[in-house]
Amino acid sequence: MKRRGIPIVISAASGTGKTSLCKRLLETLSHTARSISYTTRPPRGEEVHGRDYFFVDGATFDQMVADGEFIEWAEVFGRRYGTSFSAVQDQLDQGVDVLLDIDVQGGMQVRERLEHALLIFLLPPSMDELKRRLINRAEDAPDVIARRLQEAKNEIRASKDYDYLVVNDDFDQAATDLRAIVRTHRLRRNRRDDLVAALTTDD
Ligand code: 5GP
């Protein structure tokens, strides 16, 4: 019996360091791939279509929603983002764990639709530190930062429905914690019927 992959949802308020932690997790865990989302927002900086996101127009996104192509989709900061059902299923079927870097609205939809999903929420050490990181990132205007901080509180409240909380105070420690969670989840008894079957099947 082939081991099925685990959908791993990682969410956080923006500025928590989610992108870097996800990148580290992918570099240090075998059999793990990142789900590439569809979005209606334009590319930023060095982003590449098909690597960072699939950048699509609103009409294409609408059609994909109508055709039921998304496991989940949500509007985040006025843009829409969605996760392809078939791409994720293909990887899970191959035994690959799939990392979904998505917001809390998406996380809740995944929880309902993929009951074996693992949901991890990353927290900043404090709201002051989050504000400092958003300012240092120098990506957003002051009014946008104020809006992101307000939104961050709503997102952090929604973490009550997640399985694990990881505080990103020290980056290396947070990366180690994340990796430990995934590795432990892989060992859960109800995921390893194959091992027991292999040892107990009569000749
Ligand atoms: P950004 O535009 O900065 O790349 O992402 C903004 C937010 O959208 C982040 O919190 C990111 O996790 C979230 N996001 C990215 N892809 C998806 C997706 O497919 N579905 C949902 N629900 N959120 C997503």
Ligand 1 binding pocket includes 102 (Cβ within 6 Å): yes
Q: Report if residue 146 sits inside a domain.
A: yes
User: Among 157, 17, 184, which Cα is nearest to 101's?
Assistant: 17
pLDDT tens profile 129-145: 999 998 888 778 889 88
Q: Report if residue 64 sits inside a domain.
A: no
List the domain range (segments joined by +) for residue 30: 7-35+96-200
What is the reported pLDDT for 139? 79
Ligand 1 binding pocket includes 124 (Cβ within 6 Å): no
Q: Report if residue 128 sits inside a domain.
A: yes
CA of 81 to the centre of ligand 1 (A): 6
Average pLDDT over residues 179-184: 97
What CATH number does residue 29 fall under? 3.40.50.300
CA of 101 to the centre of ligand 1 (A): 7
Question: Distance between CA atoms of 72 and 57, rounded to whole angstroms?
Answer: 18
Closest residue CA from atom 21 of ligand 1: 102
Q: Report if residue 125 sits inside a domain.
A: yes
Closest residue CA from atom 10 of ligand 1: 103
Closest ligand 1 atom to residue 105 Cα is: 22
Q: Report if residue 123 sits inside a domain.
A: yes
Closest residue CA from atom 24 of ligand 1: 102
User: Among 170, 163, 149, 181, which Cα is nearest to 14's?
Assistant: 149
Number of H helices, E strands in the chain: 8, 9
Q: Is the pLDDT of residue 14 over 90?
A: no
Ligand 1 binding pocket includes 108 (Cβ within 6 Å): no
Question: Distance between CA atoms of 68 and 174, rounded to whole angstroms?
Answer: 35
Closest ligand 1 atom to residue 35 Cα is: 19
Question: Distance between CA atoms of 45 and 32, rounded to whole angstroms?
Answer: 26
Closest ligand 1 atom to residue 52 Cα is: 4
Q: How many domains does the chain have?
A: 1
Q: Which amino acid is at 80?
A: R
In a 13 Å sphere around the CA of 70, the CA atoms on its Cβ side amount to 23
Kind and range of the H or E run holding 140: none
Quote the pTM value: 0.94
Ligand 1 binding pocket includes 83 (Cβ within 6 Å): yes
Average pLDDT over residues 151-176: 96
Alpha helix stretches (DSSP H) within 3-103: 18-28, 58-66, 85-93
CA of 33 to the centre of ligand 1 (A): 16
> pLDDT-based confidence at 1, cuts 50/70/90?
low
Least confident window among 12-26, 46-60, 70-84, 187-201: 187-201
pLDDT tens profile 28-73: 999 999 999 999 999 999 999 999 999 999 999 999 999 999 999 9
